[in-house]
Amino acid sequence: MELYFLGTNAGIPTLQRNVTSIVLRLLEERRSYWMFDCGEGTQQQVLKSPLRLGKLEKLFITHMHGDHLFGLPGLISSRGYQGGTSPLTVYGPPGIKAYLETSLSLSQSRIPYKLEIIEHTGGLIFEDEGFKVEAGLLEHRIDSYGYRIVEKDSPGSLNTELLKAKGLKPGPLYGKLKKGFDVMTEEGETIHATDVLSKPKRGRVITILGDTRPCPGALHLSLDADLLLHEATFSQDLTDMAYQYYHSTALQAAECAKEAGARRLLLTHFSSRYSSFDELVPLLEEARSVFPETQLAEEFTAFPIYRR
């Protein structure tokens, strides 16, 4: 599991960075990936990356500002031309359904796969046996949401050496033990799952916030996150401007991570006034003064999400 960046800029694209698009790669967990926001030019960024649109399973939009969704109709259309046949689900705030249906209808786009569009106003928006996703309202000029992705705990590993010593060969009984059920050998011995199963593997928590200034919603979604992705549009000397435009500084992102008890912080959504990566270093230093485990997001770069 890792985060991969297709765009890290705020507002408009520049020669150095494209507008927002983030990918949560789940190749080992689901053989697919999820995308968060899809700014203009995202499909062009995909072509420069190792990603394949056919593997895109879910797409989450944080809010209805153009730098977060103008690339959506083109990407959805192109997915079919690039071999995408599996279903795709788009989640977003009210308005995303009308925006997509109008764009795709008027452009007479042909979508050769099942496209589901789900509007939400926060709360639990997805859950299956492996993951659940919660959305929460943030504080921005329009309704903007953050997403908390929770990987469910997985069973521990079987002590296969001990099982073989007890005469139990690999097969269906191994599966029952893995699920926590006791089994009985042909000799009548009961093998307790707790004796041959290690502790469950703790699931990871990833928080991906949309545009926001500091608010309780951001803190709630970030609690105990293994990785927090937070916007850092401005440096601390522009705190007043950040507040006026409903954005955050790098220092404010770090304060959120610290208060929430997050393990790592990634900064993104940088103002175009910081044209080069070197000009972002002061933002990184400001954040690290409060929260040392901070990194800057970089386009076409993967950031692994480690288990505790």
Q: What is the pLDDT of residues 265-278, one digit of tens each?
A: 999 999 999 999 99
Average pLDDT over residues 88-103: 98
pLDDT of res. 227: 98
Can you give the pLDDT at residue 188? Answer: 79
Read off the pTM. 0.89
pLDDT of residue 172: 84
pLDDT of residue 184: 80
How confident is residue 159, by pLDDT bands cut at 50, 70 and 90? confident
Tell me the mean pLDDT in the region 44-60: 96
pLDDT at 308 over 90: no
Q: What are phi and psi of 8, to 5 degrees?
A: -130, 10
Look at residue 49 in the predicted model and tell me its pLDDT: 96
Domain ranges in the chain are 2-154+201-304, 160-196
What's residue 57's pLDDT? 97
Region 275-286: mean pLDDT is 95
Q: What is the pLDDT of residue 206?
A: 98
Average the pLDDT over 4-11 and give the result.
97
Which contacts qualify for 42-45: CB closer than 8 Å, 24 or more apart?
42/6, 42/7, 42/18, 42/71, 42/72, 42/75, 43/71, 43/74, 43/75, 43/78, 45/6, 45/7, 45/18, 45/21, 45/299, 45/300
Q: Which of 67, 128, 143, 224 is catalytic?
A: 67
Confidence band (pLDDT; 50, 70, 90) for 165?
confident
Give me the pLDDT at residue 166, please.
Answer: 77
Collapse the DSSP code of 19 into the 3-class scheme (helix H, G, I; strand E, B; otherwise coil) and give the result: strand
Amino acid in the structure at residue 10: A
Cα–Cα distance for residue pair 167/176, rounded to 1 Å: 16
Query: Counting every residue, how long is the chain?
Result: 308
Judge whether 192 is annotated as a binding position: no
Q: What is the mean pLDDT of residues 175-200?
A: 81
Percent with pLDDT over 70 in the chain: 100
How much is the average pLDDT of 171-183?
Answer: 82
List the CATH code of the domain at 2-154+201-304. Answer: 3.60.15.10
Statement: residue 85 has pLDDT above 90:
yes
Tell me the average pLDDT across 43-62: 96
Q: What is the pLDDT of residue 162?
A: 82
Report yes or no: 121 and 198 within 8 Å, Cβ to Cβ: no
- Predicted local distance difference test score (pLDDT) of residue 176: 84
Question: Each residue of 55-71: pLDDT tens digit?
Answer: 999 999 999 999 999 99
| CA gap 249, 256 in Å, rounded | 11
Bridge partners of 25, per DSSP, are: 2, 33
Confirm whether 67 is a catalytic residue.
yes
For the cut 90, the answer to whether the pLDDT of residue 8 exceeds it is yes
- Is 63 annotated in a binding site? The answer is yes
Is 220 annotated as a binding-site member? Answer: no
The response to whether 211 counts as a known ligand-binding position is: yes
Computed over every residue of the chain, the mean pLDDT equals 94
Q: Is 65 one of the annotated binding-site residues?
A: yes
Mean pLDDT of the 118-132 span: 97
